[in-house]
């Protein structure tokens, strides 16, 4: 009998031992098995090691209030400033605007420089030259020959910028002396008057690179005007936004200050209720915490005012030493601004007519048209008509060293008929030449004229491949500009739509903020009455007070955001200057 009792006891003990053992977990296949570092168990976040103890018992015991002011600003020196005044100061003193003015002046000088190519030019030279060279001629018995020259030349070049014609007139004058015995005249006077005309017939007649440069310089002035207007629009929009941001910051500072007064009054009220036994002393601690938090909000609001004011001053101050930096700006512009009532169609029409980006694209298209015109002209053959006329004159005196090598043998006997005939020929020659003045009279008597009329041509065989490639490049560039315009117009449409939607959203936000502020005021006053009647607690009153403060700030924030959205809509439609009665002038 005992043997049978041992069997179930043994089975029960074995089952209990198996139950007490920890079963091996079923392995889960993973792509990358996780292996603890150094075979250590994973560390829980609250047990992370290596965190140093830094000021573990820190508690600030300083309860003094820091200075309540703005750095570098005398808050008693308030400067009233309208939005109109701020805009005028910005347009007058803004550095970007001044850079645009300088850029326009540079463009005007570039145009004057390009036009200077067609300015008539007088060129010339005048010099004295004397040279001595060894004699290498069998006709001269001198060992050396000395020649002295006094030269004075002048040329006048003029252009016809409409047809590409080039006019040239020149005058040459020289006096030459020589001891060479074979030189008949010494001194010898040589003069000449010449005229020439070069008229392109195909390439360069209607248009050329110089005229292209002038036309581009004109467009560049238009570009600077448009860029100046664009910069003015951006500056005005930036000033508007900065002005309304400062308006909100100052209003928010007033709200926080007034809320602090209410919080301190609530604190004193709670203390009286504690003394009367209607509140627990711990409720005073909650009110004191509320006062401390609102005091911090006052400092934060003051810092926001300082930031907003510095942004506005940076836009309107001419330099860092201007007196406005030490003054406190006080916006006096009414926050109730008129909301535009235009729809999407009118707004888009205004944007397409006024946006500077489209004007810049149009000017780029004009410049591209000039390029195409030039390169299309360059594909033509170069054929130029040339004509010239020259009239020369000569004069001088017989060279005292002159010896006719052909007359030496004939004049061995000076009275011989041959010698007399040669001398007669020389005298006849000298009588025809005359003195120095005849070099000028010969010119006007047209004694020695030269005429020339002809054609110069330069025709690349197979066509000018360079000009054709440049023309193709210009055509593709024009197509790219057209695509850019479509892209700009679509981007403007997005901006106008977003700006209109932002105005509508800001109007709705202002309505909701106004209702929220009104209801928060009622809830706060109701909660105060409940507290006095013992039907509420201080925490609900403080919550209502915090909500009322936020609602007051949010209401003006919604109004200023509406004003900023109006400014953004004006910028999107390109009507900023017109809406603010501003005429952008570079000078």
Dist. CA 89–CA 77, nearest whole Å: 19
473 has pLDDT over 80: yes
Per cent of the chain over pLDDT 70 is: 85
Beta pairing, strands 382-398 & 327-331: unpaired
**CA-closest candidate to residue 572, choices 510, 509, 480, 488:** 488
Per-residue pLDDT band for 3 (boundaries 50, 70, 90) equals very low
Most confident of 20-24, 104-108, 192-196: 192-196
- DSSP codes of every residue in 427-487: HHHHHHH-STTHHHHHHHTTSEEEEEEEEEEE--TT--HHHHHHHHHHHHHHHHHHHHHHH
Report pLDDT for 338: 87
Dist. CA 280–CA 274, nearest whole Å: 6
Q: What are the pLDDT digits (tens) for 230-254? A: 989 999 999 999 999 999 999 889 8
User: CA-based angle 163:166:167, to the nearest 5?
Assistant: 125
Tokens of 531: 């507290």
Residues in the chain: 587
Sign of the Cα pseudo-torsion (17, 18, 19, 21, in order): positive
Q: Which helix (H) or strand (E) holds 394?
A: strand 382-398
The interaxial angle of helices 538-573 and 281-316, nearest 10 deg, is: 10
Tokens of 587: 């000078």
Higher pLDDT, 524 or 568: 568
**CA-closest candidate to residue 91, choices 582, 579, 578:** 582
Q: What are the pLDDT digits (tens) for 90-103? A: 988 877 777 888 88
Report pLDDT for 485: 95
DSSP 349: H
Higher pLDDT, 552 or 481: 481
Dist. CA 263–CA 265, nearest whole Å: 5
CB atoms within 10 A of CB 145: 19
Give the mean model confidence (pLDDT) for residues 286-294: 86
Per-residue pLDDT band for 22 (boundaries 50, 70, 90) equals very low
**CA-closest candidate to residue 244, choices 572, 506, 564:** 564
Tokens of 55: 């000021």
Beta pairing, strands 144-160 & 121-134: antiparallel
**CA-closest candidate to residue 443, choices 149, 84, 189, 186:** 189
Q: What are the pLDDT digits (tens) for 88-145? A: 999 888 777 778 888 888 999 999 999 999 999 999 999 999 999 887 776 677 788 8
Report pLDDT for 111: 92
Report pLDDT for 1: 39
Report pLDDT for 11: 36
Q: Are 164 and 205 within 8 A, CB to CB? A: yes
559 has pLDDT over 70: yes
Give the mean model confidence (pLDDT) for residues 452-460: 92
CA dihedral (37, 38, 42, 44) in degrees, to 10, reads: -100
Sign of the Cα pseudo-torsion (251, 254, 260, 261, in order): negative
Of the listed ranges 287-291, 405-409, 469-473, 483-487, the least confidently predicted one is 405-409
Dist. CA 81–CA 465, nearest whole Å: 65
**CA-closest candidate to residue 99, choices 250, 6, 196, 234:** 234
Instruction: For tokens 């993973």, name the residue.
Output: 30
Dist. CA 70–CA 241, nearest whole Å: 21
Dist. CA 500–CA 568, nearest whole Å: 9
Report pLDDT for 141: 73
Q: Are 178 and 146 within 8 A, CB to CB? A: yes
CA dihedral (101, 103, 109, 112) in degrees, to 10, reads: -100
Averaged confidence pLDDT in the chain:
84
285 has pLDDT over 80: yes
Beta pairing, strands 327-331 & 74-81: parallel
CA dihedral (76, 82, 85, 89) in degrees, to 10, reads: 60
User: Which domains can be identified in the chain, with CATH numbers?
Assistant: 83-105+211-373+467-579 (1.20.1600.10), 123-203+383-458 (no CATH)
Q: What are the pLDDT digits (tens) for 491-506? A: 999 999 999 999 999 9
Dist. CA 327–CA 585, nearest whole Å: 29
Per cent of the chain over pLDDT 90 is: 45
Phi then psi dihedrals of residue 409, to 5 deg: -70, -35
Q: What are the pLDDT digits (tens) for 499-534? A: 999 999 999 999 999 999 899 999 988 988 887 787
Q: Is 148 helix (H, G, I), strand (E, B) or coil?
A: strand
Return the beta strands (E) in 119-235 as ranges.
121-134, 144-160, 165-178, 185-200
Tokens of 518: 């009104």
Per-residue pLDDT band for 371 (boundaries 50, 70, 90) equals very high
- DSSP codes of every residue in 270-290: HHHHHHTTSS-HHHHHHHHHH
Dist. CA 514–CA 512, nearest whole Å: 5
Report pLDDT for 379: 92
422 has pLDDT over 70: no
pTM beyond 0.85: the answer is no
Of the listed ranges 10-14, 210-214, 272-276, 455-459, the least confidently predicted one is 10-14
Report pLDDT for 4: 39
Contacts within 8 Å (CB) and 24+ apart, 288-291? 290/263, 290/266, 290/542, 290/545, 290/546, 291/260, 291/263, 291/264, 291/267
Phi then psi dihedrals of residue 127, to 5 deg: -160, 165
Give the mean model confidence (pLDDT) for residues 157-165: 92
Q: Is 268 helix (H, G, I), strand (E, B) or coil?
A: helix
Dist. CA 330–CA 309, nearest whole Å: 9
Report pLDDT for 210: 92
Dist. CA 75–CA 329, nearest whole Å: 9
Dist. CA 337–CA 357, nearest whole Å: 28
Q: What are the pLDDT digits (tens) for 257-278? A: 888 888 888 888 888 888 888 7
416 has pLDDT over 80: no
Phi then psi dihedrals of residue 487, to 5 deg: -65, -40
Report pLDDT for 434: 65
Of the listed ranges 75-79, 188-192, 379-383, 386-390, the least confidently predicted one is 75-79
Per-residue pLDDT band for 13 (boundaries 50, 70, 90) equals very low
Q: Which helix (H) or strand (E) holds 81?
A: strand 74-81
Per-residue pLDDT band for 418 (boundaries 50, 70, 90) equals low
Q: What are the pLDDT digits (tens) for 291-347? A: 888 888 889 999 999 999 999 999 999 888 888 999 999 999 998 888 888 889 999
Peptide bond preceding 46 in cis form (omega within 30 of 0): no
Most confident of 256-270, 490-504, 553-567, 573-587: 490-504
């Amino acid at each position: 009998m005992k043997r049978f009792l041992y069997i179930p006891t043994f089975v029960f003990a074995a089952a209990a031992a198996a139950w007490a053992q920890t079963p091996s977990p079923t392995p889960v296949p993973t792509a990358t098995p996780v292996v603890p570092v150094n075979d250590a168990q994973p560390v829980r976040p609250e047990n992370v090691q290596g965190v140093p103890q830094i000021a573990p018992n820190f508690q600030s015991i300083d309860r003094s209030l820091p200075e309540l002011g703005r750095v570098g600003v005398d808050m008693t020196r308030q400067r009233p400033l309208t939005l109109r005044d701020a805009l005028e100061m910005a347009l007058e003193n803004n550095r970007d605007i001044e850079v645009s003015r300088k850029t326009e002046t540079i463009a005007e000088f570039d145009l004057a420089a390009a036009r200077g190519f067609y300015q008539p030019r007088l060129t010339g030279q005048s010099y004295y030259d004397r040279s001595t060279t060894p004699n290498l001629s069998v006709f001269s018995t001198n060992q050396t020959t000395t020649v002295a020259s006094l030269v004075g030349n002048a040329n006048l070049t003029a252009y016809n910028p409409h047809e590409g014609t080039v006019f040239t007139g020149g005058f040459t004058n020289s006096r030459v002396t020589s001891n060479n015995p074979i030189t008949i005249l010494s001194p010898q006077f040589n003069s000449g008057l010449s005229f020439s005309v070069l008229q392109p017939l195909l390439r360069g007649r209607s248009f050329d690179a110089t005229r292209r440069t002038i036309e581009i310089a004109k467009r560049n002035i238009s570009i600077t005007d448009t860029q100046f207007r664009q910069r003015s629009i951006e500056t005005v929009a930036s000033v508007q936004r900065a002005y309304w941001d400062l308006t909100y910051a100052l209003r928010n500072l007033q709200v926080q200050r007034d809320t602090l007064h209410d919080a301190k009054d609530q604190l004193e009220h709670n203390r009286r209720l504690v003394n009367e036994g209607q509140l627990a002393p711990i409720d005073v601690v909650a009110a004191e915490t509320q006062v401390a938090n609102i005091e911090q909000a006052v400092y934060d609001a003051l810092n926001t005012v300082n930031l907003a004011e510095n942004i506005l001053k940076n836009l309107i101050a001419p330099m860092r030493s201007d007196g406005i930096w030490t003054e406190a700006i006080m916006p006096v512009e009414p926050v109730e601004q008129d909301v535009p009532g235009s729809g999407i169609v009118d707004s888009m029409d205004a944007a397409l007519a006024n946006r500077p980006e489209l004007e810049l694209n149009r000017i780029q298209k004009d410049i591209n048209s000039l390029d195409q015109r030039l390169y299309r002209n360059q594909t033509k053959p170069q054929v130029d008509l040339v004509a010239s006329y020259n009239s020369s004159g000569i004069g001088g005196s017989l060279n005292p060293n002159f010896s006719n090598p052909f007359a030496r043998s004939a004049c061995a006997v000076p009275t011989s008929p041959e010698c007399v005939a040669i001398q007669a020929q020389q005298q006849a020659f000298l009588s025809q030449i005359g003195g120095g003045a005849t070099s000028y009279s010969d010119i006007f008597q047209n004694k020695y004229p030269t005429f020339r009329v002809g054609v110069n041509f330069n025709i690349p065989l197979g066509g000018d491949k360079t000009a054709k490639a440049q023309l193709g490049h210009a055509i593709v560039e024009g197509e790219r500009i057209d695509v850019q315009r479509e892209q700009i117009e679509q981007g403007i449409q997005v901006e106008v739509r977003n700006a209109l939607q932002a105005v509508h959203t800001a109007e709705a936000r202002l309505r909701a903020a106004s209702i929220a502020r009104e209801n928060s005021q009622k809830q706060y006053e109701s909660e105060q009455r409940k507290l006095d009647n013992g039907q509420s607690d201080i925490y609900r009153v403080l919550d209502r007070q915090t909500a009322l403060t936020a609602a007051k700030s949010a209401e003006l924030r919604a109004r200023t955001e509406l004003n900023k959205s109006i400014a953004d809509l004006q910028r999107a439609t390109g009507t900023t200057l017109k809406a603010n009665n501003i005429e952008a002038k570079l000078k």
